[in-house]
Amino acid sequence: MDDSDRFTPLEEWEAEQMQNPEFVAALAALEPAYQAARRRILRSLSQEQRAELMGAEQSSTEGVHPWPKFSS
């Protein structure tokens, strides 16, 4: 048995998931957190530095966007 028999290609899995409205909604809900993390990484900022720029405590900026739950 080679790997192609055990694993679904990412593109195929994603296409299947995109048919699930709950998955699409969860993906959309995560977009702001993804963009914030992306900008922080591109600017080489630590979470502490990001919090300082925002004028907030680091702990208050962590987990602002918890992972949504959806049925499979």
pTM: 0.52
Predicted confidence (pLDDT) per residue in 45-69, tens digit: 777 887 787 777 655 455 554 445 5
CB atoms within 10 A of CB 49: 13
Instruction: Check whether 19 has a pLDDT greater than 80.
Output: yes
Contact 33, 40 (CB under 8 A): no
In this predicted structure, what is the pLDDT of residue 65? 46
Q: What is the DSSP letter of 70?
A: -
